[in-house]
Amino acid sequence: MHNFSQGAPTPVWVDITPSDMCQSIGVLEYTATLTNVPEDLDHPRKGASGSLQMDGRFDESDCIPMCSSITSEKCIGPGVRPYYADLAYVPPGLDKLSSCQATPATIHRRETLSMRCELLLDRGRRDHDEQGHDWNETLIARGEWDIDFDEDSCVPRGSEPITPHECLSFGTQHYSSNLIVPRGLERMALTLAREIPAMIHDRHILANCYERLDQDGIQTVRGHLNISFSEPSYKQCHAYDKKYTAFLKDVPRELNPLKTCNEAPLDIDSS
């Protein structure tokens, strides 16, 4: 370290000048001249006039890229929604694509880097080349995110309650269940329905067959289920509302009366 003598002028930095270009994200270079440099100071950057040229790098908000407002689109998968945003400001001296890749966005209160970046033509902006020629289009950097958290509106869901229908046979009942398909997943509707079971009597059960429905513009897949339950606690379709008694008359002699009773149908007028 150089020892400055008493009474000698104090060295002072002057002509502090910021660079026109950012060095990297958040970093700007400055140059300055140190005056009143002692004559006996030996330094490789000491000028002929007795000044000393130095440079430094400091954090600068003007060197931080900024995104435009984030835009979301239709779902692209169960629980997944795409988002995109353009870089509204790229600091001078920085590469657009690299700035896009290093600039995070806050989505659902989480800060996350883009999964993809691409350069697109923006015909609405004007720019000029190094020769000063005007162009009616310029390149912008766009970041894209596929967000798979906190996207409940992209999760297919079954409508409640499950609808019971008629008994098909003793102990077997027909049910139907609607699966509401988020926008963007319409082409996957049948595939999703085959993978997502309905909950009936605390059981997860896949449907036997499916049909597409359009209810007020909302894509729905209706699954039909034929459910058989053997538990004693399940009474539906195990008992009938009315009990009928009939006598079998005029049984031919060559037929067994008990066997014929079990095989002969009973015609009941439900009206």
| Lookup result for tokens 């997502």 | 196
Domain boundaries, the chain: 12-63, 66-152, 156-228
Residues 6+ apart with CB under 8 A from 187: none
Task: Identify the band that residue 50 occupies on the pLDDT scale cut at 50, 70 and 90.
Answer: very low
Q: If you write DSSP's letter for every residue of 100-166 in order, what string do you get?
A: HHH--EEETTEEE--SEEEEEEETTS-EE-TT--EES-EEEEEEEEEE-SS-GGGS-EE-SSPEEEE
| pLDDT above 90 (res 81) | yes
Higher pLDDT, 130 or 11: 11
Mean pLDDT along residues 28-34? 79
Mean pLDDT along residues 94-117? 94
Report the chain's terminal Cα–Cα distance, integer Å.
114
| pLDDT above 90 (res 102) | yes
Torsion sign over Cα 53, 58, 61, 63: positive
| CA atoms of 145 and 71, how far apart (whole Å) | 10
Higher pLDDT, 68 or 38: 68
| CA atoms of 235 and 35, how far apart (whole Å) | 100
Mean pLDDT along residues 93-108? 93
| pLDDT above 60 (res 208) | yes
Mean pLDDT along residues 212-227? 84
Task: Identify the band that residue 33 occupies on the pLDDT scale cut at 50, 70 and 90.
Answer: confident
| pLDDT above 50 (res 66) | yes
- To the nearest whole percent, how much of the chain has pLDDT over 90? 27
Q: Say if CB 242 and CB 233 are below 8 A apart.
A: no
